[in-house]
Structure 1
């Protein structure tokens, strides 16, 4: 689990399983390795937790809206697929370590699981070998003894890591509706260009498996940014970047103090004196979702547009980034919140429609 699950997520998963945790992954694993019958008794439960996290944790996600005919064809094609034999398939959901990945051939994505859920959802799961160069912020407890004192003058330490890992990407087919999802691994520290290359490889792999490319045009998520900004109370907005009149850029973050950017005093005071409304182009929103008794998860969605997008007539953003999801419960919550804003009108759009309707009735 350690290789794929951030500790802040893992400690909630372990708490939900009513298992004791130590401080951080290293000490927790050391405790388990030394022998812990409670962990042994929950092995299957932990394996299920790992599987769920692989399906939704730390992903970059694209939505695609299909026609009724395409949805029917996709479901039929998914039922004809068979999982081949191979090292990825033999171990799933346990992932191959870096040493084993050196001998895996080919590195292209391969089908490792076809998961059919009770509600009718289908997950077509791919595994592949991926080379990554990641940037990580180092914590004092991660450094060798004596190194922390030698590097005390630095306020932040960044490590560059080159590694092979087994990536898990998937196509999610819902039981109803016409929105399917391509979810691609996007661990913390991974570069955007690496994610885009992974999306293209997964798209090609699914096209070859299914005999048709169902992943042609992603749903445009850019309008969701402004709709989320105006939906005060719908999650906590912990990051907001926007343009103001005069081409000035502003970038606000409130993760440390837990405030919501929408209602933070400095933001409200600044926006109130503007002649024109702001133009949001980037945001991150965090929700609080119960995943077990007395266990709250804090999944987060980021919509990462660019400032130049506000200058074009129809700006486009094809993906969202999902972070800190523990399982399918909290991921389903944030996915549903994003989908709910896809076609919901902005408050000013509602007012405009109401005025138009009033005018029509007065003319009648």
Structure 2
């Protein structure tokens, strides 16, 4: 089986708004969008040093980029035992393993397994990551331009306001179980690119946990943390990043979904939001939130990792609201993800007290 070169592989899993920052940070060539960047690099091959930088950037994105994340609280002794077991695991030979950290060519994914397969172990400064590969099918809905379908089709479809095509796309997922060197929390990070249905991601997260437990030989990870209390905790903390989206209910029986256009703006300070709350007799009841942070990565460059906890009014108004996963996007690398992870741990610890 063939595999992509590193830049082409990055193109398949890294959104351009993140990818262009990664390329700039590593001094790698870039153009206007992935298509032109890949074409330019194909015409002017990377040096050995640039290849090494691209490979490292790819590994970091595999460990933390565009993930559905679940947190598992354990004792420090259990985490230490789990880390020792993870470090001792053999990595079986497979086509996924041979290609890592690149990806199998898209044409070869039809023959690749959809069961998580251990393909690599990354032992870094902050922890140990076990990487499991599998094939995942994503359904993509795209609006079609009727004019491109020919006169006969255009006439037949003239009564429709829009025509939507559905494509099933095979993706190579690289999911991660992360065991830190310090602390008492292990997390699973399931690939969750834009367009993937949340049900698919949650099933994949369950399969990842089961594959990891089978690999270490016991039920190490059982029940993920309930993250619903984080929504209110982070919203109330005015120094915690920028709230860029908030879904909430009110005692006047209305439901609101508010979003900020810019990642540097904070919904907590938005006049309409403040004014609306001021007219209520009681506090709002948040059930969905997205928080973004500004992290300086160099002169005039900023990274904006984002955490989302997506509930709905049904969950929010239930007697025991539970959300077992968060979505982490826009991470350039491990430093971004560790920042988000530290904020989650801080609030979970405060809630537990």
Alignment TM-score, normalising by the size of structure 2 = 0.88
1:3 partnered with 2:12: yes
Please state whether the residue corresponding to 1:183 is helix, strand or coil.
strand
Please state whether the residue corresponding to 1:339 is helix, strand or coil.
helix
Please state whether the residue corresponding to 1:102 is helix, strand or coil.
helix
Q: How far has the Cα of 1:292 moved from its partner?
A: 4.1
Is the 8 Å Cα contact of residues 79 and 184 (structure 2) preserved in structure 1?
yes
Any gaps of 5 or more consecutive residues in structure 2? 1-9, 149-153, 155-159
Is the 8 Å Cα contact of residues 207 and 213 (structure 1) preserved in structure 2?
yes
- Residues 1:137 and 1:214: Cα distance change in structure 2 (over 3 Å): farther
Q: How far has the Cα of 1:66 moved from its partner?
A: 0.9
Separation of aligned partners in 2, 1:231 and 1:137: 40
1:108 partnered with 2:106: no
Q: How far has the Cα of 1:158 moved from its partner?
A: 6.8
- Residues 1:327 and 1:161: Cα distance change in structure 2 (over 3 Å): farther
Is the 8 Å Cα contact of residues 220 and 317 (structure 1) preserved in structure 2?
yes
Please state whether the residue corresponding to 2:291 is helix, strand or coil.
strand
How many residues get paired?
A: 334
1:313 partnered with 2:315: no
Q: How far has the Cα of 1:293 moved from its partner?
A: 4.5
Separation of aligned partners in 1, 2:32 and 2:294: 23
Separation of aligned partners in 2, 1:277 and 1:60: 29
Q: Which residue of 2 aligns with 1:31?
A: 40
- Residues 1:70 and 1:332: Cα distance change in structure 2 (over 3 Å): same
Separation of aligned partners in 2, 1:198 and 1:4: 17
Q: How far has the Cα of 1:258 moved from its partner?
A: 4.4
Separation of aligned partners in 2, 1:301 and 1:257: 12
Please state whether the residue corresponding to 2:12 is helix, strand or coil.
coil
Q: How far has the Cα of 1:137 moved from its partner?
A: 8.1
Q: How does 1:68-107 map to 2 (within 5 A)?
A: 68-104=76-112, 106-107=113-114
Is the 8 Å Cα contact of residues 291 and 330 (structure 1) preserved in structure 2?
no
Is the 8 Å Cα contact of residues 62 and 182 (structure 1) preserved in structure 2?
yes
Q: How far has the Cα of 1:220 moved from its partner?
A: 1.1
Residues 307-332 of structure 1, C-alpha deviations (whole Å, 9 max, x = no match): 12232333111110011111001111
Is the 8 Å Cα contact of residues 289 and 333 (structure 1) preserved in structure 2?
no
